[in-house]
Structure 1
Amino acid sequence: MPKDDRTLSKFMSLVLRHAPETAGLALDAQGWVGLDDLVKAAFERFGADRQDIERVVKESDKQRFVIDGNRIRASQGHSVSVDLGLAAAVPPPTLWHGTASANQAGILGSGLEKRSRQHVHLSADHDTARKVAMRRAGPWVIVQVDTKAMVRENYQFYCSENGVWLTDAVPARFLSVFETFSRPGRQGKD
């Protein structure tokens, strides 16, 4: 994604996930906003048009946004209250969470918490968790989540439109370190 598209994508994340008021917008109860309204706000700020927004939605490897007719929303990651209308789903037996190694002790001590977000975000595969981790300063850790055991204890999971698995919390007893690494391509316990 070109630099200007990254800037536009960050703006869209801010507006559609965290602070719609910064662009003079309001999300509906399901997190949708009028596409024309977002285009107007993006044009005023960056000179971006509808094609620019549609390109960001289509070409984003994270697929954070979805367009439905003349409305748009973020697929997950909201810190504002929205109901994405996701039905509970049975996850694969193992899910993954990638983060900076600096977070490892806290995570293994108290589990994964949603904090200011509506859900904890989990990846369906180890490679995606690795990419997520590397968005932060390294070194990194990939934590394995025993979702099979969580389901047995009646924890609920949801799968967002872009394949991110969501849950309210992951207690520490369901977590184990799968991998630590400090450079891309280097695996194992550092």
Structure 2
Amino acid sequence: MNKHDEVKLSSFMAKILRHSPQKFGLTLDDYGFCGIPNLTKAIQTQPRWQQVTEDDIRQIVATSPKQRYLIKGNQIKARYGHSVPILQEPSDRQLPRFLYHGTHKEALEAIKGKGILPMGRQQVHLSESPSFATLAAKRRKNPLLLKIDAQSAIEAGVTFHFAGNEVWLSTSLPPSSITEVIELE
């Protein structure tokens, strides 16, 4: 499978595992896992992907720079980005003092008024490093990076869960938790 097809298949896997498993005949457990054989069969129902194998799926997971997926045994899940409700597994990872959120200039006024909301997803996505959040921000025109004071957010009632690979998920963040707005080029 070439790189272009890997990117397309990874996006399709995200669509299935994050947003519409039932549309493809899949049932996710409480934490968002399903069997890799079941995901493979669901993907193969699409004409473009009839030749996809479990090995192709494992290769995408192994080589994904953003580590969007997690495999445990013969089960797979999308780590973050869900619009369907799933539970987050507990983690003993220490919450950093500051987290970062990538956005764009056009959203800033709304964020200043209402805070950072999950929009069409279950949770807000944050990163431990500015560089990882910058990747998300630069998908849009006029990208911005927001620096979040995690302790201030906790004091305001926000809950955080570690999703893996520098990604933290949270409930809505109040505007008061934003300590800095950084314009990106």
Verify same fold: TM over 0.5. yes
- Whether 1:158 aligns to 2:157 is no
- Whether 1:120 aligns to 2:121 is no
CA RMSD of aligned residues (A): 1.8
- Whether 1:148 aligns to 2:174 is no
Contact 2:148 2:180 in 1 (8 A): no
Contact 2:128 2:168 in 1 (8 A): yes
| Cα distance, 1:29 vs structure 2 | 1.6
**What residue in structure 2 maps to residue 173 of structure 1?**
176
Name the CA distance, whole Å, in 2 between partners of 1:42 and 1:92: 37
For each residue in 1:125-160, what CA deviation from the matched residue of structure 2 results, as whole angstroms up to 9, or x when unmatched? 111111111122x11111111112223445321111
Gaps of 5+ in 1: 183-190
Gaps of 5+ in 2: none
Contact 2:88 2:161 in 1 (8 A): no
Once the two structures are superposed, the pairs formed by residues 76-95 of structure 1 within 5 Å of their partners are: 76-87=80-91, 90-95=94-99
TM-score, with length taken from structure 1: 0.87
Contact 1:42 1:49 in 2 (8 A): no
**What residue in structure 1 maps to residue 62 of structure 2?**
58
| Cα distance, 1:181 vs structure 2 | 2.5
The residue identity in structure 2 corresponding to 1:155 is V
Name the CA distance, whole Å, in 2 between partners of 1:180 and 1:99: 10
* Matched-pair identity in %: 33
Contact 2:115 2:173 in 1 (8 A): yes
**What residue in structure 2 maps to residue 186 of structure 1?**
none
The residue identity in structure 2 corresponding to 1:52 is D
Contact 1:89 1:156 in 2 (8 A): no
